[in-house]
Amino acid sequence: MVSTTARGRRRLAGKGAFIYNDFRNNHAIWPGRDSALDEFLRQTFKGMSHKKKNARSSNSEDALTWSCFDTLRNVSQSSRAVAFQELWELAYDNVAAPDGLEASKIHIGKSYGVEKKTTEVDLSFEGDGFLVVVEAKLYSAMSQSDPANDKPHNQIARKLTIGLRQAQAEGKDFYFILLDIAPPDCLAQLNSGVSLAEAKGKASGFGGKWLTAYWFSRYKYGHRRSLRPLRELLLNEGLDAAQTAQVAKRMGWLTWADVFKIVLRAVIPALKPEDHDAK
């Protein structure tokens, strides 16, 4: 067995994220895309260069997102079109894909919004008539609201409202996808039956991932068969509450397992004939 000790180390013996010595080993890099990765990692948001800081951690959501979706940016158009169709089918039950989805432009780490109401989006797909915002999570819990630090909304609410406002300003349809390690019903089991008061509290680490499922479900499905939570969110942000049902319907969920298989299927046709030979 080949030793991997030269590639990096774990913070604690056998525990914690693996920290690579070279950030390139923590990314799947399409041939010739090294400079694109460097440019991505140099991105800043509100003066902070956070991507470079976590680029060597095996727990990095950015590293995983870039590895999968920059790969999709570089496969053939036909393979990418099939991948988009599969992603959409798995993210939504019965929501028709927007026209032109297969030719979407993929953005990783693009910022949206104006002035104080801005957010960096992990992943987005853009077309002439639509904007799809994807919030990617891995092992961490979603961030809660923090009014004292100019964060009046939790992470999901922030992406929903800023993304919807951006789409409306550009005359586009808005869609939101939550990409996480497991389906929402599985994450909810980490702390089932919680109250709204508990969900407004603080939770961190993997054990706090139930928060993502809770708030996603509260906005998408409502409370006691009412979409009032989402309606009030839109009203408080000066957005058209008449769109509440449509916004809820256009909220989808993907898992990383879904993404991995779709990306692999997209890459396989690009392999050289000799790479297909069974070993």
Structural domain boundaries in the chain: 60-274
| 130-136, strands of its sheet edge to edge | 105-114, 117-127, 130-136, 173-180, 251-255
Tens place of pLDDT per residue across the chain (279 aa): 444 458 998 877 778 899 999 999 999 999 999 999 999 999 887 767 788 889 999 999 999 999 999 999 999 999 999 999 999 999 998 899 999 999 999 999 999 998 778 999 999 999 999 999 999 999 999 999 888 777 889 999 999 999 999 999 999 999 999 999 999 999 999 999 999 999 998 888 899 999 999 999 999 999 998 999 999 999 999 999 999 999 999 999 999 999 999 999 999 987 766 555 544
Q: Are 173 and 129 in contact (CB under 8 A)?
A: yes
Model pTM score: 0.92
Residue 272: predicted pLDDT: 62
What is each CA distance from 241 to 13, 49, 145, 170, in whole angstroms? 52, 36, 21, 18
In angstroms, the first-to-last Cα distance of the chain is 18
Q: Are 41 and 55 in contact (CB under 8 A)?
A: yes
Residue 189: predicted pLDDT: 95
CA angle 97, 136, 131 (to 5 degrees): 35
Residue 151: predicted pLDDT: 81
CB-neighbour burial class of residue 88 (10 A; exposed 0-12, middle 13-18, buried 19+): buried
Q: Which of 139, 135, 113 is nearest to 122 (CA)?
A: 135
Q: Are 107 and 126 in contact (CB under 8 A)?
A: yes
CA distance 20 to 55: 9
CA distance 121 to 174: 14
